[in-house]
Amino acid sequence: MNTHIPAAVYRKIDPNAWRRILVVGDLHGCYDLLQDKLAQHGFDTQLDLLVSVGDLIDRGPKNLQCLELLRQPWFCAVRGNHEQMAIDALQSGDGGLWLANGGRWFLRLDDDEQQRARGLIAECADLPLVIDIPMADRHIVVAHADYPLDSYGFGRAVAQEDLLWSRRRINRNQRGRGAPIEGATHFFFGHTPLARIRHYFNQFYIDTGAVFGGSLSVVELNTLPV
């Protein structure tokens, strides 16, 4: 069943507030890899912004540390399907789906850590599903799995489960049946682990499987080709 979401789940970022804006693929608890990657990029927490495509947690070694990034002023994220599974599990008391998809790290935390994790997962319910970055010569849109419409518009009603879960568009792209999404110049998605960043039309898929032994991809938006 499709659940339609209001425009409040869209967040617009002012690019002029930051020296550089970078976008990172699915972290899945790979906190140390992220720190190494930021050092390689000369990331300055006073000047630069890091945008995550979601899935901060599950399967990797440092999930609580990745959640705590949400408290940093230099970090922001869209909600991923793994955050959604955690939210649903803690709200409903039924953690079967979450535990089957990498959520067992939560059970290994001590009481204080679980309390911290519960608070941070609750905050994930307030994360946007779409981040909009209107730069001077490029218009960037970030979502976790897909932007399921053929034309983007800030605040348009879209199906939440498609933003979080859908692989229909990347499957079409991989079969040679894709097309650009109108309304913005660049779209960044995670969700689907790939051996390398894949670029189809104006869509970039940047989950390069860090938690599965692949690389963690970070892309600087200010230097993208127009």
User: Residue 122: its pLDDT value, please?
Assistant: 96
Under 8 Å between Cβ of 186 and 202: yes
71-109 residue pLDDT tens: 999 999 999 999 999 999 999 999 999 999 999 999 999
φ, ψ of residue 212 to 5 degrees: the values are -105, 15
Residue 82 known to be catalytic? yes
Residue 157 has pLDDT above 50, yes or no: yes
Pull the structure tokens for residue 65.
């540390």
What is the layout of strands, in order, in the sheet containing 10-12?
Answer: 10-12, 130-134, 139-143, 186-189, 203-205, 198-200
Model confidence, pTM? 0.95
User: Residue 7: its pLDDT value, please?
Assistant: 38
190-221 residue pLDDT tens: 999 999 999 999 999 999 999 999 999 999 99
Determine how many CB atoms are found less than 10 A away from the CB of residue 72: 10
User: Residue 8: its pLDDT value, please?
Assistant: 67
Residue tagged active-site, from 28, 41, 82, 199? 82
Pick the CATH number of 7-223 from 3.90.550.10, 3.40.640.10, 2.60.40.10, 3.60.21.10: 3.60.21.10
Nearest to 156 by CA among 1, 3, 4, 2: 4
